[in-house]
Structure 1
Amino acid sequence: MRASDIAGAVMARRSTAREMAEQALARIAAARDLNAVVTTDPARTRAEADAVDARVATGEAMPLAGVPVVVKDNIWVGGWRITQGSRLFADFIAPEDAIAIARLRRAGAVIVGIGATSEFACKGVTTSQLFGPTVHPQDPQLTPGGSSGGPAVAVAAGLVPLAIGTDAGGSSRRPPAHVGVVGFKPSFGAIPYGPGFPEPFWRISVIAPIATDVGDARLAFEIMAGADPRDPDTFDVAVADHATPLRVAFSPRLGLDVAVDGDTSAGLQRAVDRLRAGGMPIVDKDPVWPAGLAEDAVMPLQHAGLAALYGDAFHNDPAQFDPDIAKQIERGLGLSGADVARALEASAQIARAFASFFTQADVLLAPTVPCVAWPFTQLGPSKIGGKPASPRAHAVFTPYANHAGVPAISIPCGTNVHGLPFGLQLIAARGRDRLLLDVAADAERILAQS
């Protein structure tokens, strides 16, 4: 069931929040081999569900009444164990809800579990020393990507209709693309981020809903969005300002000289052709990036952030860390102030380039991923487009939206010859989240009909 259908059934008393919670807990227990949900607390979940049913009985209206939700293991959920996928936080109990989670609970959502993440949400595969690998629902040898692999798999496998992830470089767009669901990265500041753990990603990471369709992702966004005085970066997103005519651009490689698998490229083009045939006005147009700019130009920000937060703990006991995260911390410890300044300038250049592009277009269509899922034992596929691939080559199309602070959404648009999904990414200017969601819903409708 969709989240909106569950809420409607609970509000109409055709079902109860307790029934929905029990069913979700049973599905999670039956799907333990996926390792998508790493923490459950059935007694707490049942108490939350009973409290929602009591509120329904008083006549209180709740847009998420009884909807079971999985939350990524780096977002504070008061009273729950939240670990960031790290041995350092294996016994940490969140002292309070993040603002976004408090808003979901006020809307009637029931937390049924905590979804797996890679350590500190800093890898493109969802594995950790604390919990092991999360696997793809179609093939247990494959990864769903990362770092929001647990929430994405929980939705794709039908454990819950809605999950909440984070996105600092595509973490809640790439895993949904790899498993065939919707992941929405709002504008930076559209949803309050804390209270929570200090972030290694300065002014980049956002809280992101993951759902089976655009409508449910939008429902969660509307509940979580809005300024809060505790978060100085937040703002109120404007109503959708529909341009006349709507200007939609398609860039098959986001203006980057990068490899894409043939199946993925061809499937993306077919999806865009279907959107054109369905009436969406699309022109071919690439963003223009500063000469020499590459995604690795901004990676020092992540490495420096990890080093600042966990460098001392790393010196005390390196074995506490995932080896791949340890390498990132070591790189961060070796960076100079000038290295970080250059990365900050690269981030600012990305933001300026996107701002310029969106004076000429309202929405940009591009790939979410250049390839389908790969073995979970690897940081990335060994080849993309028939060429040797670096460990981050699978992530090339998503981080720029984070550095620009703009909203981006991934919707399913096809599968390869083996039935593995990939996604179409839609991007808009900062603050135009509602316009983007409108266009994404239109695209979803057209693709479903064709």
Structure 2
Amino acid sequence: MSLLDGPISALVSAVQEVKATPSELTDEALARAEARNPAINAICQMNPQARAEASRVAARLQAGETLPLAGVPVLIKDNIWVKGLRSTQGSKLFTDHIAPEDAEAVKRLRMAGAVIIGVATCSEFACKGATVSPLYGITRNPVNPSLTAGGSSGGSVAAVAAGIVPLALGTDAGGSSRRPPAHTGLCGLKPTQDLIPYGPGFDEPVWGISVICPIARRIEDVSLAMRVLGRLEPVSPTPLEIAVSEDFGTGQQLDTDVKANFEAVITAMKSAGVQVAQAQINWPNDIKGHDIQPLQYAGLAQMYGDVWRKTPDLFDPAVAGQIETGLSLSGVEVAAAHQASHQMRQTLRAELDRYGVIATPTTPCAAWPAEMDAPTEIGGRPAQPRDHAAFTPQINHAGVPALSLPCGSDSQGRPLGLQLISQTGRDAALIALAQQLEPILKEIT
């Protein structure tokens, strides 16, 4: 087995022990990208300096530096700045934008010895749940290329799932680094707000909810990445106690296979000795995840409304619709969305203080056809555009950590995910819990 397919820790050890070189691993990742990317469209730009970066990592190792990610090939989502590379957010408006500096997360990866091999595709402005952009087209799911990889971090997950790189960075403002991993059989962590510095980079439609996230095949790989990205030291595991909620208190219907899978997860956890309780989550005023969407619409309208009026054809039709909606919103409607955001934060933090860890399905449905922005039906009922994201944006507005673990697949072989949510600042404990659950969930088919 290639080092690119095993644990990141084994790859780093091989490089440090001079059993492999950063250049060899970079060459292999670049060759895989050339062979595998055309079918999935996960990478929108290769780094022409990747081999030079690998040589510099080798020189640093020879000089005696200890590099925790020595030689690890990495991809960076197209809305995170990588100095000297084109950074577009999947938008024709930024076709010629060259990042003037590295985002802090990218700096930390490079300081740790990682090699940036390129930039991964994302939906326009990272504002859509499928990675389909006017600039780069459709990103497909390596598990089944007829399906979406999810969004907006679809390129990052597709590249990792295809084995091109063992680690990629995504972003998450409403679930974009949890739902795509669930659709592709990967692990994705949304850290506590501001644990990983966000930026320097693009302006955000909604400030204070976006985070930079590691995406990998194993939780141990996520843990190693977080030691670099978030300066997060591992902690010892604690007794396994989890509260579960099939619908996260939202009333959202699940696809039949997702419901059966969640029940199988609960059974498997109980059989393994996990203490499982039912979480009763009472959202005030019956707020749902989509109730905060006016904040995104208004933010996009503020940033791009004037350009949209002049050149509407440059925009993704779905994003254009968000801008148009944002321009029509009243101040009262935007204020109501702010109130919903505040209520989400208060409610979820209180419930986490009560339960410690809450588990939900990451998504109420599996991946849908790649050409579609969202599924039209979930649980046998017509679906609204954001119903597939019913269980994730609340976490962003609460500022708490959450992650998605693979937990089997549906009857069509489409991967499914389990979302674990914990109290703010409990990222290390959440990762330790996930590492205990990972082998249990692998037995679920």
Specify the TM-score bucket, using the shorter chain as the normaliser: over 0.9
* Alpha-carbon distance in structure 2 between the residues aligned to 1:74 and 1:96: 13
For each residue in 1:352-400, what CA deviation from the matched residue of structure 2 results, as whole angstroms up to 9, or x when unmatched? 1111112211111111011111112222112111111112111111111
> Aligned ranges for residues 193-232 of structure 1 at < 5 Å?
193-226=198-231
In structure 1, what is the Cα distance between the partners aligned to 2:67 and 2:270? 38
Over residues 327-364 of structure 1, what are the superposed CA-to-partner deviations in whole Å (9 max), with x where a residue is unaligned? 10111111222221111110010011111112211111
Tell me whether 1:351 sits opposite 2:364 in the alignment: no
CA distance in 2, matches of 1:156, 1:286: 35
**2:46 matches 1:40:** yes
Give me the whole-angstrom Cα distance separating, in 2, the residues matched to 1:56 and 1:63: 11
Distance 1:62 1:363 in 2: 33
Tell me by how many angstroms 1:419 deviates.
Answer: 0.8
Alignment partner, residue 182 of structure 2: 177
Which AA in structure 2 matches 1:200? P
Q: Which residue in the other structure is 1:285 paired with?
A: 279
Tell me the TM-score normalised to structure 1 length. 0.95
1:383 and 2:377 matched: yes
Distance 1:49 1:242, change over 3 A: closer
Segment of structure 1 superposing worse, 3-12 or 406-415: 3-12
Query: What letter is aligned with 2:186?
Result: V
Q: What CA distance in whole angstroms lies between the structure 2 residues aligned with 1:239 and 1:52?
A: 25
Give the partner amino acid of 2:410: N
Return the alpha-carbon distance in structure 2 between the equivalents of residues 241 and 158 of structure 1: 30
Aligned to 2:159: 154
SS in 2 for 1:166: strand
Identity among equivalent positions (%) equals: 49
Q: Deviations over 1:57-85 (max 9, x none)?
A: 11211010000001100000111111100
| In the alignment, structure 1 residue 298 sits paired with structure 2 residue 313 | no
3-state DSSP class of the match of 2:140? coil
Please name the residue that 1:232 is paired with.
Answer: none
Which residue of 2 is the match for residue 408 of structure 1?
402
Q: 1:200-249 deviations in whole A, cap 9, x for unaligned? A: 122101001000011111111121115xxxxxxxxxx7975977x65420
Could you tell me whether the CA contact under 8 Å between 1:240 and 1:432 is conserved in 2?
A: no
Give CA deviations for 1:123-177 in whole Å, capped at 9, x if unaligned. 0100111000001112222111100000001111111000000000000000100
Aligned counterpart for 2:358 among listed residues 345, 364, 369: 364
Structure 2 partner of 1:436: 430
Instruction: Letter of the 2:259 partner, please give it.
Output: S
Match of 1:192 among 188, 197, 221: 197
**Distance of aligned partners of 1:22 and 1:238 in 2 relative to their CA distance in 1, 3 Å threshold:** closer
- Match for residue 76 of structure 2? 71
| Cα distance in 1, alignment partners of residues 421 and 401 from structure 2 | 6
**Aligned residue type for 2:294:** P
Matched with 1:263 is 257
The RMSD of aligned alpha carbons is 1.5
In structure 2, C-alpha distance between the alignment counterparts of 1:57 and 1:288, rounded to whole Å: 57
Alignment partners' CA distance in 2, 1:58 and 1:238: 26
After TM superposition, which residue ranges in structure 1, 4 or more long, deviate above 2 angstroms?
237-243, 445-450
Distance 1:320 1:363 in 2: 43
Secondary structure of the residue aligned to 1:78 is coil
Secondary structure, counterpart of 1:141 in structure 2:
strand
Partner of 1:233: none
In the alignment, does 2:143 pair up with 1:138?
Answer: yes
Shift of 1:2: 2.2
- 2:111, 2:216 → 1: CA distance? 19
Structure 2-normalised TM-score?
0.96
Matching residue of 1:317: 311
Residue segments in structure 1 that go unaligned for 5+ positions in a row: 227-236
Contact 1:410 1:426 in 2 (8 A): yes
Q: Which residue of 1 aligns with 2:3?
A: none
Give the alignment partner of residue 4 of structure 1, picking from 1, 9, 12: 9
Give the equivalent residue in structure 2 for 1:92.
Answer: 97
Q: Which runs of 5+ in 2 are unaligned?
A: 1-5
The whole-number CA distance in structure 2 between the counterparts of 1:240 and 1:359 is: 20
Matches within 5 A, 1:26-65: 26-31=31-36, 32-41=38-47, 43-65=48-70
CA distance in 1, matches of 2:410, 2:241: 29
Answer yes or no: is 1:127 the counterpart of 2:132.
yes
SS of corresponding position for 1:424: strand
> For this pair of structures, how many residues does the alignment match?
438
SS at match of 1:374: coil
Cα shift at 1:439: 0.7
